[in-house]
Amino acid sequence: MTHLHLDSDARSSLRGLSERIRGGKTNVEAPAAVPAAKPRPVPVMLAEEEMDREEVLVAPRPQAPAPRLVIDGASRADKLASLRRQAETWAPAQALGTLREVMVFATGDPEARLMLIGEAPGYEEERKREPFVGPAGQQLDKILKAMGLERAAVYLTNIVKFRPAAARQTTNNRPPTPEEIAACLPLLREEINIVRPQCIIALGGCAAEGLLGAGGNIPALRGSWHDFGGVPVRVTWHPSHLLRSTDDIATKRLVWEDMLAVMELTGLPISDKQRGYFLPKV
Ligand code: URA
């Protein structure tokens, strides 16, 4: 659980408690200091001026040791189903207290040659429990179509399997933190082990950071091959970057050059027309 709803009764009890503590009329003990080794900031709001807020972030709980993943099943689909069941209650992610509860796993073909990895589900993905179904997903579908691929022909997943939480969250999303990426990485590692794709596309800085530990600097990382456990990795911009980009065609061409490299590696046919996409008109 990442948020608590405080109704007016609860807020008024907390206000009274706070006043009694400050007035010295009670022997309620001050909270113990947080030991240095415990995880990150403690964004619990106790100051009176914060009491009227509807949501309170709960302090991250101490990190539990990562449980061992035991994968059952003969086919890749069965093995992924086994992993998915374990991901639902993945203790290292839950222990952070900064990720929401609904797990969004993956979609596509368990036998795919190509795996695409994004950062984390957002509002739309959480609602539909499927990765890349919002605006960034529509942009990704266009890229796949230009490559001659259907969404169902690839394997689409995220480095973090739960939507990152934020105070008073409605449709707003935030990128995952390094701690959230690290907590979910064992799940992604197992997914890659099961699917054994011929090639991985890391979409955006978070995916690159998680897979390669490389600082997530896309201009420095794109345009060449990297390696994750023996699987070639191509890093490129996240589709949402293309939605925001002002030098539209130039960035689209660079992303497309990464896709051409992936098509060559995976043996997809490439027409002359495809080779010329997003080149300046002469
Ligand atoms: N952005 C991502 O990185 N993943 C999604 O699933 C949706 C948006």
Average pLDDT over residues 94-122: 98
Q: What percent of the chain has pLDDT over 70?
A: 77
Which pLDDT belongs to residue 18? 58
- Which is more confident, 226 or 13? 226
Phi, psi values for residue 143, rounded to 5° = -65, -45
Residues 9 and 43 placed together within one structural domain of the fold: yes
In a domain, 45, yes or no: yes
Is residue 46 located within the same domain as residue 134? Answer: no
Q: Would the CB of 197 count as within 6 Å of ligand 1? A: no
Q: Tell how far the Cα of 75 is from the centroid of ligand 1, in angstroms.
A: 27
Same domain, 32 and 96: no
Residue 212 has phi, psi (to 5 degrees) of: -110, -10
Higher pLDDT, 143 or 60: 143
The CB of 122 under 6 Å from ligand 1? The reply is: yes
Q: Mind listing the pLDDT tens digit for each residue in 38-52?
A: 344 433 333 333 333
- Written as six digits, the tokens of 163 are 């939507």
Write down how long the chain is.
Answer: 282
For residue 63, tell me if it sits in a domain: no
Q: Is 131 in the pocket of ligand 1 (CB under 6 A)?
A: yes
Residue 30 lies in a domain: yes
**Mean pLDDT, to the nearest integer, of 190-213?**
97
Q: How far is the CA of 130 from the centre of ligand 1 (A)?
A: 9
Is the domain of 160 the same as that of 249? yes
**Ligand 1 centroid distance, CA of 99 (Å):** 15
Q: Average pLDDT of 181-204? A: 98
Span from the CA of 258 to the centroid of ligand 1 (angstroms) = 19
Which CATH number goes with the domain that contains 151? 3.40.470.10
pLDDT digits (tens, 9 = 90+) for 109-122: 999 999 999 999 99
Quick one: 80 and 148 in the same domain?
A: yes
41 shares its domain with 93: no
CB of 136 closer than 6 angstroms to any ligand 1 atom: yes
Q: Do 81 and 52 lie in a common domain?
A: no
Total structural domains in the chain?
Answer: 2
Residues 25, 145 share a domain: no
Closest to 230 (Cα-Cα) out of 264, 198, 266, 191: 198
Q: 30 falls in which pLDDT band (50, 70, 90)?
A: very low
Q: Is the same domain home to 80 and 213? A: yes
Q: Is residue 217 part of a domain?
A: yes
What predicted TM-score, i.e. pTM, was given to this entire model? Answer: 0.79
Distance between CA 223 and CA 266 in Å, rounded?
16
CB of 237 closer than 6 angstroms to any ligand 1 atom: no
145 in a structural domain:
yes
Same domain, 34 and 136: no
Of the residues 103, 105, 125, which should be mutated to test ligand 1's pocket, given the most ligand atoms within 8 Å of the CB? 125
CA of 134 to the centre of ligand 1 (A): 8
| Mean pLDDT taken over the chain | 85
Residue type, 22: R
The confidence score (pLDDT) of residue 23 equals 56
Domain, as residue range, for 16 = 3-57
Give the position of tokens 């608590």: 4
**Rounded Cα–Cα distance for residues 178 and 99 (Å):** 12
Report if residue 280 sits inside a domain: no
Do residue 162 and residue 213 come from a single domain?
A: yes
| Distance between CA atoms of residues 177 and 185, nearest Å | 12
- Dist CA 131 CA 114 (whole Å): 16
69 within a domain of the structure (yes/no): no
114 and 244 share one domain? yes
Answer whether residue 70 is part of any domain: no
